[in-house]
Structure 1
Amino acid sequence: MTPAAPAIDPLLLGRLGHSDAGVRRIAVLELADLERPEHLPALTAALRGDPAPEVRAEAARVLAAWDDADVVDTLAQALLDAHAEVREAASASLAELNGVQAGARLLPWARHEQAFARAAALRALKPLRLPAAAEAAHDALAHADAAVRREAVGVLGWLKQADALPALARLAINDSDAEVRRSATGSLGLAGAGQVAQVLPALLAALVDPQWQVREEAATTLAKLRPPAALPGLLQAMQDEHWQVRLRAARALGRLQDAAALPALTEALAHPAGNLRKEAAIALGELGDVAGVAPLRLAAQDPDPEVRKAARLALARLGEELRP
């Protein structure tokens, strides 16, 4: 015989109606710790109707652990709460739900007229990879709010929507928001072999974007796609004022395996940033050019142990033994 579920503590439930908001908030936490589904109505009621925003926010946070239809609906409705703390908590909890049921219920919110709610729904839909979310994400690429556009780019990237590449390329070049440009630039990495030429102009434009984070993302994406025509732009990026951009450019140049990159990579071995020196050593090994042996032998004496290790591995890749 299946044992009966323990009765709900009426004193604990009663504290949800206490006049002190602090007591009600602790009661929400205690109920959540019990992890019993029969407490869900009380928790969703706290999110829907408690007069104190701190209690509603706490209820929104603890509901992240439940993949339940009523929970999804209640959290989604809380995206319209009058208090930012509640809205942010609801958005964060929705992003943690991972059930297909949750995605289906969130799809209408991905077209909501309120920008915060729309962005939050798209953010939550992204890791679910629901094909049905693609149309709403496409439409959101033209939204006036940058946060909505950023989340829409993320959805299309996770869905690997190749038909969105032209729109993503336009955003990578022209969007007014740097984070949208960065995200769109990264999403161009989903291009297949036959689509690289289509996205290359946007990536080369992003490689000289005013924001260094966009330039870094462009170099990272070029390292994935490895288009030979990117060589001149990547060589220029090796002179970027930010070493982070140079590092990603060095990685891309190594994967292109073009000996024309050898001087720029050799020069990078003397840069103050140890991470860049390490990446340059790795790239010189990938080039496969014996002209890289001499600079790599010098790099094998670098004060940074990570650089020395990378240089030794690169020399081994070139078939060279490190002689004392």
Structure 2
Amino acid sequence: MTVPPIIATQPGVFDSGSAALLARLADDDAAVRRIALLEIADFEDADLLPPLVAALRDDPAPEVRLEAARVLAAWERDEIVEALCAALLDTHGEVRAAAAQSLSELKNPASGAVLRRWVERPEPFVRTATLRGLRELRFADAFDPALHALADATPSVRLEAVAVLGWLKDARALMPLAALATGDAETDVRRAAVGSLGFAPALHATAITALLVALRDAAWQVREEAATTLGKLRAPVARDPLVAALDDDYWQVRLRAVRALGQIGEASAAPAIAALLTHTVSNLRKEAALALGELRDPRSLPALRDALDDRDPDVRKAVRIALQQVEGVSL
């Protein structure tokens, strides 16, 4: 290999230590070049970024390009984000995955402008990775491509599009997300769409209707998420469907329904919740006790007192807390 261009064209810019490291990027041994990358990254010097970008783009060894994709995650500059996006097209799968991971760690909303330019590429992996990178940036210009991606043929793209819209919390997305929550063919996408509806107003009819439908979804994971989201929205209309969910075949759904009923504050649900204090799953018994404490219904006192000798110490603690709450109201 030849002397790296950054040294040849900018003599005197680098001290002898960094210049020696950069020279090792031209070593014939890929292992030497990879270690040099790590040591260069430790300098945290912006002047040393061009050779790292060049290694990501041009090094013949995938393990070196992989390391470059990893170390560049620490820098949020347009040229770095652009290089990482380009690495999503690398011929080696591990390099593509490392670039995608680095893009997912971006925190600066200004990086969204670069990602936005890549989000409509024809490659599903690129669309998925760039949408994932946009997810937590709350980059407003990501709304339109994310909305468009809800109809993408690739499930992973739809999944990431849902996440972007959930973070943006733009009311224009509620109806498309509600449609996806009940109509998408993929369980993971429906579940994500159900969770994303958590930013809806409590009385948003379309969102609440979709969540109630999702509470009867064939996949228990979707039902679990629907119960969780209904609890967040504290929608009184969900009381009876959530009480019905207390008989779900999966205890995970029952647990989330119990929690949701406690959040909604419907005291009429207390008897149905109290019946779960004898369930075989300790987490569900604990959640039932906590919910009864929130509901503060004196009718639950006998069941709570019977549960004071529960075999699980965490359940006993939750029962004592609940008794204090309920007895404080009943006195």
**TM-score, length-scaled by structure 1:** 0.93
Moved over 3 A (4+): 4-8
Deviates more, 1:21-30 or 1:8-17: 8-17
Q: Residue by residue, what CA displacement relative to the aligned partner does 1:216-238 show, whole Å, maximum 9, x if unpaired?
A: 11110011112222122212221
What residue number does 1:114 align with?
Answer: 123
* 2:295 paired with 1:287: yes
Mapped partners of 2:267, 2:242: distance in 1: 13
Aligned partner (choices 207, 228, 232) of residue 236 of structure 2: 228
Mapped partners of 1:151, 1:245: distance in 2: 24
Q: Residue by residue, what CA displacement relative to the aligned partner does 1:11-37 show, whole Å, maximum 9, x if unpaired?
A: 321221222222221111111122221
What displacement does 1:301 show? 2.0
Task: State the SS of the aligned residue for 1:9.
Answer: helix
What residue number does 1:274 align with?
Answer: 282
User: Is there any run of 5+ residues in structure 2 with no aligned partner, and where?
Assistant: 1-12
What displacement does 1:155 show? 0.7
User: Is there any run of 5+ residues in structure 1 with no aligned partner, and where?
Assistant: none
Counterpart of 1:240 in structure 2: which amino acid? Answer: D
What residue number does 2:88 align with?
Answer: 79
What displacement does 1:320 show? 4.7
What displacement does 1:269 show? 0.8
What residue number does 2:150 align with?
Answer: 141
RMSD: 1.7
What residue number does 2:62 align with?
Answer: 53
Contact 2:270 2:292 in 1 (8 A): yes
What residue number does 1:154 align with?
Answer: 163
What residue number does 2:176 align with?
Answer: 167
* 2:263 paired with 1:255: yes
Counterpart of 1:256 in structure 2: which amino acid? Answer: I
Mapped partners of 2:17, 2:281: distance in 1: 60
Deviates more, 1:139-148 or 1:307-316: 307-316
What displacement does 1:194 show? 3.8
Percent identity of equivalent pairs: 54
What displacement does 1:8 show? 4.7
* 2:107 paired with 1:62: no
* 2:52 paired with 1:43: yes
**TM-score, length-scaled by structure 2:** 0.91
Equivalenced residues, count: 317
Counterpart of 2:150 in structure 1: which amino acid? Answer: L
What residue number does 2:8 align with?
Answer: none
What displacement does 1:170 show? 0.9
